[in-house]
Amino acid sequence: EVQLVESGGGLVNPGGSLRLSCAASGFTFSAYSMNWVRQAPGRGLEWVASMTGDSAYIYYADSVKGRFTISRDNAKNSLYLQMNNLRAEDTAVYYCARETLSYLVDYWGQGTLVTVSS
Amino acid sequence: DIVMTQTPLSLSVTPGQPASISCKSSQSLLHRDGKTHLYWYVQKPGQSPQLLIYDVSSRFSGVPDRFSGSGSGTDFTLQISRVEAEDVGVYYCLQVTQLPKTFGQGTKVEIK
**Contact yes or no for A105 and B60 at CB 8 A:** no
Residues of B whose CB is below 8 A from A44: 92, 103-106
**Interchain pair A44, B104: CB under 8 A:** yes
Among A10-14, A57-61, A94-98, A100-104, name the one with the lowest average pLDDT: A100-104
**Torsion sign over Cα B42, B43, B44, B50:** positive
Low-confidence ranges of chain B (pLDDT < 50): none
Mean pLDDT score, A88-114? 96
State whether residue A88 is helix, strand or coil. Answer: helix
Distance CA A37, CA A46 (A): 6
Report the residue from B31, B49, B55 with minimal CB separation from A108. B49
Q: Is A42 helix (H, G, I), strand (E, B) or coil?
A: coil
Residue A102 with chain B: CB contacts under 8 Å: 33, 35
pLDDT tens per residue across span A22-74: 999 999 999 999 999 999 999 999 999 999 999 999 999 999 999 999 999 99
- When pLDDT is averaged across residues A8-14 and rounded to a whole number, the result is 97
Which of B51, B53, B101, B105 is the best substitution to test chain A (most A C-beta atoms within 10 A)? B101
3-state secondary structure B38-52: EEEEEECCCCCCEEE
